[in-house]
A and B are shown apart, each in its own frame.
Chain A
Amino acid sequence: MLGIITGFIDELRATGVPVSMVEAIDGMRAVEVVEISDRVALRETLRATLIKNLRHERAFDTAFDVYFSMVPQSLSEPRDSGESRSQPHVDRSDALEPPPFDIDGLLDSLLEALAGLDDEAIRRGARTAVDELAGMEPGRPVGGTYYLYRTLRRLDLADLEERLISALTYDQDLSDFERRLLREEVEARIERLRQEIEEEIRRRLVADRGRDAVARTLRRPLIEDVDLMHATTSDLHEMEDAIGPLTRKLAARLARRRRMRTGRLDFRRTMRKSLATGGVPADPQFRHPRPHRPEVWLLCDISGSMATFSRFTLQFTHAMSTHFSKLRSFAFVDTIDEVSDFFGPGVDFGSALRRVTTEAEVVWLDGHSDYGNSLETFHTRYGRQLTPRTTVIITGDARNNYRPPRDGVLGDIAEASRALIWLNPEPEAYWDTGDSAMSHYAGHCTSVHEVRTLRQLEQFIENLTLPGPRPLQNV
């Protein structure tokens, strides 16, 4: 058991989940007080002790399935039968001939199990389905998805869903509303079956190839390690939850003031108050410093090459707008436009995004990135509103399509503001290759960071130290 748990923890760490020594020991200690044979108890015990972040739960679940799947005794038996059966019809060519197996019978029993919400029967059905339809062959180095696809294609879940809906309708006349609720109920049940099948396949893969090998093939980058330039929509969706806390942290970093915890003693008010106690200063009063409200301006490259990344930065902008009352955001391609009004409290992200893409005037000439012109336009139009309290953050790859970088103007912008930060979503090794003009711009920035993943963004925020707000001059 100890060996399996250490292997499991190693796997978590290999995926990128930080499991500290203390947590590992806690996990071991906790396992001692649970019934090992109770899989749910074991899973929740390990989860509570090893995983401290919701974002890591998916990785945990996958690894747990691999390391602690019940290796059933019947395992060798169905696998053998599966083997012998798959020999006669080597359907590697996806031959159309139906196998000698009563698929309708299986579907009927599945339908009954799903309609009656009979967990045991659903599990049994899933097992049979994998036995008969996945055509698993020992030693084949394919991932579980392949077998899952084969099983599901034969089961035709969409059809099963329709049948289940009509079975649960009981010939009643349903309104659209009721039908919608019913459909969602059915979808939830079908999803359960799908998961059951997936788990079953995973179990067999583990039995066939061993835990470590399967875990390696199933390993997927954690959401914080996904490359922002190539993130999928579902990745971005998942990131949304992580962005909120991050922006709050950024807000705190930018607002950080160097002061004593409770503030200085307010002598005047203390004396005034002491009159009530006969001149004894019994109730010291403190001066509470006003919290410093950071002013942030965000400039986002939203050109085509940056499509995914800019969606992310806009998501970030959206989340920031709830924390910074003085946030101004600008979008640019080959010219720049202010988009602050599209974001703000009470606006949902979808419509903000739509307005940025349709209403903002960011294309001037041909819709290819032109940092030079964008920065110059920015400086002419908004430059005078920059103050020594403004932090300017630019996000973009600095790929300028070989146009003049006109970096001098960036120097002016830096001069006029508190700090100028550039976040580049490209790996640092690619900077200055091809049409990237990064080094031209970098010299003018307070700091330049490679932000390819959520984790890097987190690190950037973590280590952010800015020069204190400069005093306003000539005021």
Chain B
Amino acid sequence: MSFETPRAVADALRSVDYLPDDRIAQVVFLADRLDKPILVEGPAGVGKTELAKSLARVTGRDLIRLQCYEGLDEAKALYEWNYKKQLLRIQADVDHDWEDIEQDIFSEDFLLTRPLLEAIRSENPVVLLIDEVDRVEVETEALLLEILSDFQVSIPELGTMEARTQPMVVLTSNNTRELSEALKRRCLFLHIDYPDAQREQQILAARVPGLSEHLAAQVAKVARSIRSLDLKKAPSISETIDWARTLLALSIEDVDEAILGDTLHVLLKYQADIEKAAKELTSSPPA
């Protein structure tokens, strides 16, 4: 499925309760048109992973996810030869000609596909999500380059495997490490920041059914206010959503200082932050 305009992207995403801003819609549109991967960067919990999931949902593609971590290697990301099966095969007929066996054990039947190869080999079109790519070491990043630019994987024993269908690739990064130029060059860059109060209000309305407009607006404003403080970890969208749900569950209609003070721990995860926010928000505003 291909999108006609950025607006169509926005509408489609909205239909699955993901509210994109102009930038997100435009970049997704471009990625679709130019068949380029998207590198999504931004603070934790602003909907980077959610974007990939929503894309899979609106396009009807399968989602294949590669969660990155320190120490990820090609055996976990690309493919691995199935040693056990190969050994068994060798043992099964010892009298057989070795050449034949060698041919045989290095065929696709003995290949264990890992997410990247799986995305390439899939019969159905897929969305490939490479999550938190900044966690792998620089050297491991190189594994991704071939797949990102040519949508293919080279296996020395088998040759080059090309994509059966063009995968839609989304990489996410929390920017804990500068990614290599080579990787960035191959991607469209999309920075997602905390939304402004208006958009956050819409997101809340879409994600928390039953939330009154008044409360959604208040929650969004409080979130903005807290984010303007100098905190260790500002509340993310997922945390404001949690907070809105909490308020709803407590059947609170209107947020005041006391309620905020009582429920602040839903928004903030560090004791120092909670104390700071409580002190700032519940005292009189700066003149």
Contact = CB atoms under 8 A, between A and B. Distances in A.
A52 B184 contact: yes
Interface in B1-51: 5-6, 22-23, 26-27, 30, 33-34, 36, 39, 41
Nearest to A252: B137
A48 interface: yes
Contacts of B69: none
A79 B257 CA distance: 51
A262 interface: yes
A245 B41 CA distance: 13
A266 interface: no
Contacts of B33: 30, 33
Contacts of A244: 175-176
B22 A48 contact: no
Contact of A48 (B30, B88, B178, B181): B30
A292 to B, nearest CB: 14
B84 interface: yes
A54 B175 contact: yes
A45 B29 CA distance: 10
Interface in A2-36: 18, 20, 22-23, 26, 29-30, 33-35
A283 interface: yes
Given A175-B257, A185-B197, A245-B177, A48 B284 contact: no
Nearest to B73: A261
B188 A48 contact: yes
Given A20-B185, A48-B27, A346 B197 contact: no
A23 B257 CA distance: 50
B185 A52 contact: yes
Contacts of B138: 252
A5 to B, nearest CB: 15
Contact of B189 (A35, A47, A280, A281): A47
Given A44-B22, A248-B176, A346-B270, A180 B185 contact: no
A180 B34 contact: no
Interface in A173-216: 175-181, 183-185, 188
B58 interface: no
Contacts of A458: 178
Contacts of A75: none
A48 B189 contact: yes
Contacts of A30: 30, 33-34
Contacts of A178: 256
Contacts of A20: 181, 185
Nearest to A40: B22
Contacts of B84: 277, 282-283
Interface string B187-219: 111110000110000000000000000000010
Given A22-B185, A30-B34, A282-B87, A249 B177 contact: yes
Given A54-B41, A185-B197, A23 B185 contact: yes
**Most chain B CB inside 10 Å of its own CB: which residue of A175, A177, A284, A348:** A177
B260 interface: yes
Interface string A31-60: 001110000110011011101111001000
Contacts of B190: 48
A283 B83 contact: yes
Contacts of A245: 134, 175-178
A32 to B, nearest CB: 9
Contacts of B191: 54, 57
B73 A262 contact: yes
B282 to A, nearest CB: 6
B103 interface: no
A181 B232 contact: no
A139 interface: no
Contact of B34 (A29, A176, A188): A29
A282 B83 contact: yes
B222 interface: yes
A44 B23 contact: yes
Contacts of B283: 176
B224 interface: yes
Nearest to A237: B230
B236 to A, nearest CB: 16
B221 interface: yes
A350 interface: yes
Contact of A248 (B177, B185, B281, B285): B177
A184 B134 CA distance: 34
A185 B281 CA distance: 14
Contacts of A184: 221, 224-225, 228
A379 B82 CA distance: 57
A284 B83 contact: yes
A241 B178 CA distance: 11
Given A33-B30, A48-B27, A348-B230, A176 B222 contact: no
A280 B272 contact: no
Given A45-B30, A185-B221, A280 B87 contact: yes
A347 B225 CA distance: 22
Nearest to A33: B33
Contacts of B251: none
Interface in A73-88: none
B160 interface: no
Contacts of A41: 6, 22, 26
Given A30-B34, A54-B191, A57-B191, A350 B230 contact: yes
Given A245-B176, A249-B178, A175 B256 contact: yes
B249 to A, nearest CB: 22
A208 B6 CA distance: 34
A181 B215 CA distance: 13
Nearest to B255: A177
Interface string A316-355: 0000000000000000000000000000001110100000
Interface in A240-289: 241, 244-246, 248-249, 252, 261-262, 277, 280-284
Contacts of B221: 181, 184-185
Interface string B127-156: 000000010011000000000000000000
A73 B175 CA distance: 43
Given A20-B185, A29-B34, A180 B225 contact: yes
23 contacts: A41-B26, A48-B30, A51-B189, A52-B181, A54-B175, A54-B191, A175-B257, A177-B256, A177-B260, A180-B285, A181-B218, A185-B221, A252-B177, A262-B75, A277-B87, A281-B87, A282-B84, A282-B88, A283-B83, A283-B84, A346-B272, A348-B272, A348-B276
Interface of B: 5-6, 22-23, 26-27, 30, 33-34, 36, 39, 41, 73, 75, 83-84, 87-88, 91, 134, 137-138, 175-178, 181, 184-185, 187-191, 196-197, 218, 221-222, 224-225, 228, 230, 232, 256-257, 260, 270, 272, 276, 281-285
